[in-house]
Amino acid sequence: MSLPDFKTMYRELIARPSISALDASLNQSNRAVIELLAQWCEQLGFSTEITELHAAPGKFNLLARRCPPGMAEHSGGLMLAGHTDTVPFDDSRWNFDPFTLSERDNRLYGLGSIDMKGFFAFVLKALEDLKALKQSAPIMILATADEEITMAGAQEIARHSNLKPERCIIGEPTDMVPVYTHKGHMSSAIRITGRSGHSSDPDRGLNAIEIMQQVITNLLQLKEDLKNKYSLEDFAIPYPTLNLGHIHGGDNANRICGCCELHIDLRPLPGLSIAELQALLLQAVAPINAHYPNSVSVLDLHDPIPAFHGTRDCALVTLAEKISGQQAVAVNYCTEAPFLQQLGCETIVMGPGSIAQAHQPDEYLAMEKIKPSQQILTELIKQQCFV
């Protein structure tokens, strides 16, 4: 039985909702996507293993493997990896049904069209086109869960005791430009606990908003310190960034605010560890906590994601540059690469579609990019796994 054509695969992947969200009312299982991919992989002769995540029940990983006779299927070869979940969407800002593949103005619209369900259609099409050739190295297809919030799927795969690919391509949308390194990601909540009371007598309470003002002053100083002390020229934004993203506190104008919470985003460079950055954050709020004992708490909103530290001169980067005609770059966003790299494989991030479309209303794949992206990916797989 042959696979569906490329657009049909795209359509069927997008038609299966698989949203990951911290809000439980929006959060969904990705099981339907995983089972569909497993079915297609099996049609291409892959053995498949579907695993429910320990850290996120109801979410699933798929590991599909195909190996030439006489070779160990768990080691060597190439892993093609991507996540099957998407971000939530704002229905009022979409001009199309997010779960229906819509073709207009030479674009394919749909939630996950480039971030990143669509990558699997490219992979499966490439493998179908190469079926007449002799496979000379193991091929693995990894489809993970929960990348958009916890990266739990990739973290569980990283602890797999029997998986040692030689190389890994993560198909996040890079317009087929190879990415060899990227920043990490921390999201933290800073919570101020004060004492509420009547606004007519300020000294009887402790205003959490006023304390937060002092915290913000120190955080802005930390922001400048990070900018001045750490730098890598590989990145377009060469320093670690700190963003004050969300704040809420208080309930009425005539009450002393008893609680205020600020959510911040930090992006560490390779070489700046999560532990070091967490220590700098605690150091920034320590004087305020000393003055107002136990008033300031710092909490992780999710497990921090370390930076991905690859090198430009590894064989996989060199091959990807040669085939794509593009020089490898460093990027400011983060992916599952630092976890999959723990398997001991050379790793790059490289896939169809533009990162500018990720997490946007009316997410789309430009159709003029389909053929050249397919050619590059097919050639990458061919040169590593076929004779």
User: What sign has the CA pseudo-torsion 368, 316, 386, 141?
Assistant: negative
Q: Are 222 and 208 in contact (CB under 8 A)?
A: no
Q: Which residues are catalytic?
A: 85, 147
User: How far is it, in rounded angstroms, from Cα 229 to Cα 240?
Assistant: 9
Q: What's the DSSP call for residue 4?
A: P
Strand 107-109 relative to strand 179-182, pairing: unpaired
User: How far is it, in rounded angstroms, from Cα 307 to Cα 42?
Assistant: 34
Beta bridge partners of 103: 108
- Burial label for 72, CB within 10 Å (0-12, 13-18, 19+), is exposed
Residue 155 CB coordination number (10 Å)? 21
